[in-house]
Chains A and B, each alone.
Chain A
Amino acid sequence: MMTTISLSINERPVQIDAEPRALLVQLLREHLGLTGTHCGCDTSQCGACTVLMDGRAIKSCSVLAAQADGRAITTVEGLAATDGRLHPIQQAFSEQHGLQCGFCTPGMMLAAVDLLQRNPDPDDQAIGEALEGNLCRCTGYQNIIKAVRQAARACQSAHSDGA
């Protein structure tokens, strides 16, 4: 038995049939080929599968695909602008070298985007608390925190320029 799911993924409407037991991360990776979202622990501990649902960070391995019906999902593939310009958090991760193996990186960036939407000027403690659900085994987190700080500055600068 299949269920039809209608949702928006990276601002594109998608209608797809999936098993009721299918997880959102499976829908993204296996049905839609959006393999930028990684699946690490499969038990909502590592945060590698983090995506945005209606603007808030969620772990897509702990959400059924059917629960995303009618929602707007943003994955790492949808962060950059349509003309290819990187999102400030992507630019910051690149410039601050906030990744080594890269497995946690998409989840880290989307959790950071959620943080910056709620708190445009986070201190290191706020960044650490926001990313506590995202594990990184390579970087020691230092460059990740630097990247989030840089992205916060870039977002504030862009906001003040546009104001």
Chain B
Amino acid sequence: MEDAWFELTVDRVHPPQAKRTTTTSACSQGIITGESPRYQPHDEGPPIAGALRQPPNTE
């Protein structure tokens, strides 16, 4: 009985389809392509140093 429960649980966590085709999350996809929230394609020229770190609004 315990074996049956175990197999059922494993089957739910790792269904056969999931074993055959691994999925890559959006986060992992960003790693693979080099994109990140801070990255901006520099179509309009490269950003200067520190441009992506905005100073705090002191007003």
Contact = CB atoms under 8 A, between A and B. Distances in A.
B32 interface: yes
A102 B31 contact: yes
B28 interface: yes
A33 B46 contact: yes
Nearest to B33: A80
Nearest to A19: B49
Interface size class of chain B, counting residues whose CB lies under 8 Å from the partner chain: 20 to 34
Nearest to A102: B31
Interface of B: 22, 24, 27-29, 31-36, 38-40, 42, 46-52
A33 B39 contact: yes
B39 A94 contact: no
B36 to A, nearest CB: 5
A36 B49 contact: no
Given A35-B34, A36-B35, 17 more contacts: A12-B42, A14-B46, A16-B46, A31-B49, A32-B46, A33-B38, A33-B42, A33-B46, A33-B47, A33-B51, A75-B34, A76-B34, A79-B34, A94-B28, A94-B29, A94-B32, A99-B31
